């Protein structure tokens, strides 16, 4: 069986981090797996994962069980096992430079200071992999950036983020079923704060 795509949601393991901004990638994979009726019970590749089929296309949903700055090890092990090219790997992660309510699908790019993406770049030896960036905005108060990303969303953002996570799942499905360009065209113009 040929895996068509590896879909990775970046985050940190454990209940302590479950609902934090830095776990937005995990949240997308967890919602999508529930929608598809599969459980992330696989334990290979230092991850929680599930192999499933979407309209005849085999995909692997994966949440690394390493901490964020080591997530690339899990991605690389899985990519090597299934002999995946970098363009067959979609990485979902939080982005400080996008406001809450925005999602951006991209073809490639630098890590932009994101330690999880940096780890994936380092272990794949390439920046040429598609991403879904989910806006988490910047701190409103006096929090440090590290405290901010490891904290839950503000109360007034929580409903927006539920809608964002749902739309990110749609973006994943569009990417698999129709390709990167249609996903970019449909998703990148959306603003879910409106």
pLDDT bucket at 114, cuts 50 / 70 / 90: confident
Mean pLDDT of 102-128: 90
Question: Which residues are annotated as catalytic?
Answer: 22
The band of 1, judged by pLDDT with boundaries at 50, 70 and 90, is low
CA angle 91/130/5 to nearest 5° reads: 70
Using one digit for the tens of pLDDT, what is the confidence trace for 63-94?
A: 999 988 899 999 999 999 999 999 999 999 99
Q: With 90 as the cut, is the pLDDT of residue 168 above it?
A: yes
Whether pTM exceeds 0.85: yes
Mean confidence (pLDDT) of the chain: 92
pLDDT in tens, 122-138: 999 999 999 999 999 99
Q: Read off the DSSP letter of residue 153.
A: P
- 131-159 as b/e: b if 16+ CB within 10 A: bbbbbbbeeeeeeeeeebbbeebeeebee
Domains defined along the chain, listed by start: 5-187 (3.40.50.1470)
* Secondary element (H or E) of residue 31: helix 24-36
Q: Which residue has the higher pLDDT, 134 or 190?
A: 134
């Amino acid at each position: 069986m040929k895996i068509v795509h590896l879909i990775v949601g970046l985050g940190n393991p454990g209940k302590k981090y479950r609902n934090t901004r830095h776990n937005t990638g995990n949240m997308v994979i967890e919602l999508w797996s529930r929608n598809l009726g599969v459980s992330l019970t696989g334990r290979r590749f230092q991850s929680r994962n599930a192999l499933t089929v979407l309209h005849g296309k085999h995909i692997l949903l994966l949440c690394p069980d390493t901490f964020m700055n080591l997530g690339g090890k899990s991605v690389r092990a899985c990519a090597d096992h299934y002999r995946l090219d970098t363009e067959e790997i979609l990485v979902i992660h939080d982005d400080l430079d996008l406001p809450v309510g925005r999602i951006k699908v991209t073809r490639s790019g630098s890590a932009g200071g994101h330690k999880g993406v940096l780890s994936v770049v380092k272990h794949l030896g390439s920046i040429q992999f598609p991403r879904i960036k989910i806006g988490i905005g910047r701190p409103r108060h006096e929090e440090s950036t590290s405290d901010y990303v490891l904290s839950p969303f503000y109360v007034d953002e929580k409903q927006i983020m539920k809608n964002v996570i749902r739309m990110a799942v749609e973006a994943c499905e569009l990417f698999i079923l129709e390709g990167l360009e249609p996903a970019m065209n449909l998703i990148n113009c959306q603003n879910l704060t409106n």
